[in-house]
Structure 1
Amino acid sequence: MLDHLILTVDYTKEWEQAMEQLPALLKLLGTRRITLTYVLQTHKRLHPDDTEGSATERLRRIGERLESSLGVETATHVANGFVAQEVQALARKLSADGVVACNRSHRAAKELFFGNTALNLARMTKVPLLIIPVQDEPPAAEEEILLATDGSKASLNAQAAFEKLMANQRTGRVVWAHSEEPEQSDEATEQRINELAERHPNVHRNILTGRPVDQILQTINDTRPLLTIMGKRGSTPIQEIMIGSTTEHVAAGSPYPVLMIP
């Protein structure tokens, strides 16, 4: 499904810990090629060892390890500038199918990770973004895939990706949390969820009432899915800089991987 991914690297222990979850996710997503990228942030004070040559050598060693353990093809790329901008430019240049980033902030009990590379990527991305948190919770209970939806047009691509994975007879779950005040679109959303479950007998339904962020995160913590898939709103510059979308909150607070689909 996501044949070629850009993998952002930051060389921290937290990044190494988060990447322990990578093998199962690459297998799930059908990834065969990875471009490892590191961005020298020239606007910040650099460590003496933080040079293009040193970064390239580090990426090469990581790539060799991934090729040996996962059987994927790897390439490396070192850039200078702002991480999110450079990663997005590389994704466009290589026509990559998605980007992988580490979220090191969810343990701080904050829903937003201001200033974090993952947040900037979440706001800017035009391709699927896989956010892998540092894993300090028990590992995924089973290979269940969770689709969190609000029934909007922005969620349709996420639903399509979810259904592709369900075609392999995996176990899935759809969660929709709506407010206590009914809206006109609620009936259509519930019908769409019911139709999805009828097409895939291995899909469970959770229709909940309450603040969507709270309900989705509670479901994630209860079910411990291998992956949560959500749609990303915002395709204009104004929408991209708006803070506080449900998807951003969930991606920031989830102790398990989240795939954002534009």
Structure 2
Amino acid sequence: MSVRWPDSHGVNRTLLWKPDEEPGMRALCATDLSAASEAAIENETCLDCLGRIGIGTIHLVTVVPANVHSGMPGINLDRRRQQGLDRYRDVIAAAGFEVETHVVRGTPYRRINGIAETVRADLTVVSSRGQSPLENRIIGSTARNLARTTVVPLLVSRVEREADDPDVLREHLFQRILFATDFSEHADRAFDAFSYLHPATEEATLVHVRSSKDAGADSGPDPRERLAEHAGTLEGWGIETRIEVREGDPADEILDVEADVTPSTVVVGSKGRSRIRRLLLGSVSEEVVARAAGNVFLVPPPRAV
């Protein structure tokens, strides 16, 4: 069943409703209708991975910047935008998901976060064209701002950078996971994501990096023992697990492990809210999100009640 109605902002929304099925978890997929977005949204393997972790409903969101108008005379951008969303919607619905589309106007990352809260999304998916050949710390501005402000777990899906018709770089989103931990509450919260990721996960590498700041902390529990506890949990779910303890700069070492094991996705936790202005990533998480070759799954603090 397909239902259309204008929301409180006068925006057309479409719901493909399957009332006899449980909706499951909800994912918000942000798209600018570019080739990069299309690569992630229409990839059958990526969609299958989302289904494996329990996603039943996908909210497709595109944000029209406030300074963008409907188009030049003879060019109906609103219609072309809706046609693009309809095409994505049909592909996703054919894969067995409930689909709702949203077209809103404003600042992209703010509107995406707002809709994620409104629909109680369990995660947000955004595409990024990966590392820039000129400056490998640069990711798309919307992806970067979402990483710093997201209110729900964020999956940054990497796609080929230079290709005219790009493909995703790691289409099995959660099949092979690299989990980085400093044993903080933020990292423990990120590890809890395995409670719903594990049906799609076959292999996991758990890594802890000793930095210069850890000097004098040797009297604490052995990091290998702590990683082994996590590994036991994952192996109980049938996930083949290995552990790594390294020394050096945390971000550099995590990315070196990524290069060695080529995981589908790196899972990291972010820190809490800045008292100064907005949610900020810890420096290590920010480096990993910006520089990782593959996908990154960022787990933020819980929503404020």
Partner in structure 1 of residue 226 of structure 2: 192
Runs of 4+ in 1 over 6 A off after TM superposition: none
Overall identity of the aligned pairs, in %: 26
2:278 aligned with 1:246:
no
Which residue identity does 1:31 align to in structure 2? I
Partners of 1:147 and 1:162 within 8 A in 2: no
TM-score normalised over the length of structure 2: 0.74
- 1:133 has 2:167 as partner: no
1:6 paired with 2:56, answer no
State the distance in 1 between where 2:81 and 2:199 align. 40
Superposed displacement of residue 217, structure 1: 1.3
* Number of equivalences: 260
Aligned counterparts of 1:47 and 1:244: Cα–Cα separation in 2: 40
Q: How much has 1:170 moved relative to structure 2?
A: 2.7
Equivalence map 1:62-101=2 (5 Å): 62-68=88-94, 70-101=95-126
Query: Structure 1: where are the runs of 5+ without partners?
Result: none
TM-score after normalising by structure 1: 0.85
Q: What do the CA deviations read for 1:86-113 (whole angstroms, capped 9, x no partner)?
A: 0011011111111111112424364533
Instruction: Determine the C-alpha separation between the residues in 2 that align with 1:138 and 1:118.
Output: 16
> What residue in structure 2 maps to residue 122 of structure 1?
147
Match of 2:193 among 148, 161, 167: 161
SS at match of 1:246: helix
- Distance in 1, matches of 2:222 and 2:141, equals 33
Determine the structure 1 residue equivalent to 2:16.
Answer: none
CA distance in 2, matches of 1:139, 1:176: 23
- Structure ranking higher in helix proportion: 1
For the structure 1 residues 15 and 171, does the alpha-carbon distance in structure 2 shift closer, same or farther, using more than 3 Å as the test? same
Q: Partner residue of 1:30?
A: 54
Relative contact order higher in (CA < 8 Å, ≥ 6 apart): 1
CA-CA distance at 1:198 after TM superposition: 3.0
Question: Out of 78, 81, 86, which is 1:60 matched to?
Answer: 86
| C-alpha separation in 2, matches of 1:213 and 1:223 | 16
Shift of the alpha carbon at 1:234? 2.5
Structure with max Cα Rg: 2
Does 2:38 align with 1:16? yes
Partner SS for 2:60: strand
Structure 2 counterpart of 1:260: 298
Letter in 2 for 1:95: R
RMSD of aligned Cα (Å) = 2.9
